[in-house]
Amino acid sequence: MAQQTQIILTDDIDGSKATQTVTFAFQGTSYEIDLNDEHASSIEESFAEWVNAARKTARGGAATAARSSSGSRGSGPKRADLDDVRAWARENGHQVSDRGRVASKVLEAYDAAH
């Protein structure tokens, strides 16, 4: 027997049909919000001034940036981070295995893109 699961997004502002999930971080906390196109455009406009004046940081915030600048990766990326790296790598034409180490070349490309 076949099953089909359907996910319907609802705009978290007004309850209308949402078209996308917007993610952002503030003060070290990551957030997600489901929005329709109008509200997504509104949040992008609201953030534009701040994003344009800001600088990008390494994924994971100051601790990751400090570890990267010292040349030591410590215990290395966490398992969840490696899943993100592998997904990004595949989407960007890199060959990676489902398990085991991720090549340093791929990790460097991922870090440069983020």
State what percent of residues in the chain have pLDDT above 90: 37
Q: Which residue has the tokens 């007004």?
A: 14
3-state secondary structure at position 95: coil
* 82 and 35 within one domain: no
* 44 and 89 within one domain: no
* 6 and 41 within one domain: yes
Q: What is the pLDDT of residues 76-101, one digit of tens each?
A: 566 558 888 889 999 999 888 888 88
Tell which of 39, 54, 69 closes a domain: 54
* 71 and 30 within one domain: no
Domain extent, residue 64, equals 58-114
Tell which of 16, 31, 54 closes a domain: 54
Q: What is the value of pTM for the model shown?
A: 0.48
Residue type, 72: S
* 46 and 71 within one domain: no
CATH of the domain at 31: 3.30.60.230
